[in-house]
Amino acid sequence: MKKIGHITIFVRNYDEAIQFYTDIIGFQLISDDKTGEGFRWVTVAPQKQSETAIVFVEADTEDKRSKIGIQASDHVFMTFITDNCMRDYERMKARGVNFHGFPSESPWGTEVVFEDLYGNRFDLVEPKF
């Protein structure tokens, strides 16, 4: 194996997820491809050159719908690395992102937990090293 390619997040609606992750969090839309069979491949990432992207999967079954927002239960689902935690915190907070506290120092850097529009928790980390 060489790398992690994609991480899946269940969403209620592709367009609302795209809007939140691009306009509110500041990610880039990498792909939004539709096929003739009704399939849609939507990916976002912090930058176009990112090796790992998030794939949105529109929840089309009751089982998938029941997991929207709790894919990691009440734990952090993913960590996003930044070069300036306070800057990104202030920008995202001003856009309405729900944070669990204020950025604080930890042994590995400055961090704060936030939620996406569905309640999935993410850790925003500015590493010390």
| Spatial CB neighbours of 112, under 8 Å, sequence gap ≥ 6 | 85, 89, 99, 100, 101, 102, 103, 104, 123, 124
Q: What is the mean pLDDT of residues 56-64?
A: 96
Would you say 112 and 101 are in contact if contact means Cβ atoms under 8 Å apart? yes
Q: Is the pLDDT of residue 35 over 90?
A: no
Share of the chain above pLDDT 70, in %: 100
30 CB neighbour count, 10 Å cutoff: 18
Would you say 16 and 1 are in contact if contact means Cβ atoms under 8 Å apart? no
Q: What is the mean pLDDT of residues 8-23?
A: 98
Question: Tell me, what's the pLDDT at 38?
Answer: 80
Class of domain 6-60: alpha beta
Q: What is the mean pLDDT of residues 49-63?
A: 95
Question: Tell me, what's the pLDDT at 36?
Answer: 78
Mean pLDDT, the chain, rounded, equals: 96
- pLDDT tens string 76-122: 999 999 999 999 999 999 999 999 999 999 999 999 999 999 999 99
The answer to whether 6-60 and 69-129 have equal CATH topology is yes
Domain-by-domain residue ranges, the chain?
A: 6-60, 69-129
Architecture of domain 69-129: Roll (3.10)
For the chain, the 3-state helix, strand and coil shares in percent, each to the nearest 5, are 20, 40, 40
State whether residue 18 is helix, strand or coil.
Answer: helix
